[in-house]
Amino acid sequence: MCGSSICPVDARALPCWSFVAAKALLQLRFLLGRVFSLDTPTPQQKSASYTRLLNEADRAGSLVPPGSKDGFFDVVYVFQNEMLLEITNATVHTFSAQTLTQTSSGYRLYWAIYVKPVRSITPACMALIDPFCRWIVYPQILHKVREQWIRLYAESPDAPE
C-alpha cells in the first residue's frame, strides 16, 4: 500500500519491547507514571497538541488522521515519507520525527526525538532516563527497524535498485 515509504518502517508497530531490558524499563516508567501521576496531561497540555498547527492541506494529505491514537503516541501527521508523532503528559511534550529519503545507494531513515519541558521536573526526569534511552531502548528500536526493512524490501519489487 505504501510502497517504499515511512509506513512499513514504523518503529512503533515493531515488537521492539520484547527485548528484556527495554521492556523492563518501559514497565518501570509506567509504574512510576502511575505512582507520581506523570502520564495524565492537563486540559491545557492536551490543547497544546501540534495538530492544531496543521493547515487544511496537510490535514487532508495525512495518511493517518491527525490526532489519532497510535500506541503510546498521538499522530500529528503521516505523509508518504515523513511522520510526526507526539506524547503529552504531566512531565514532557515529546515528539518523534521520522523522515525517509532516497539516496544513491538506497534509502536512509532519519529519526529524531525532541523533548519540550512542561514542568520544572522535566530536566531531572530526562537526565535520569537519557542513558537508558541512548544505550538500550533506541538501539533496539533501530535494530528492529533495520530487520523489518530488510525483510520487507530485500527481495521486493519496491526495493531500491
Asked whether the predicted pLDDT for residue 13 surpasses 60, the reply is no
What is the span of the domain harbouring residue 48? 7-153
Report yes or no on 159 lying in a domain.
no
97 domain-assigned? yes
161 found inside a domain? no
pLDDT, mean over the chain: 80
Q: What is the DSSP letter of 133?
A: I
Q: In whole angstroms, what is the distance from residue 19 CA to residue 2 CA?
A: 28
More confident residue, 161 or 93: 93
pLDDT > 50? residue 4? no
For residue 136, pLDDT beyond 90: no
- Number of structural domains (the chain) is 1
| pLDDT tens-digit series, residues 19-75 | 677 777 778 878 888 888 877 777 777 788 899 999 999 999 999 999 999 888 899
52: Cα separation from own chain's centroid:
19
pTM listed for this prediction: 0.76
Neighbours of 85 (CB within 10 A): 24
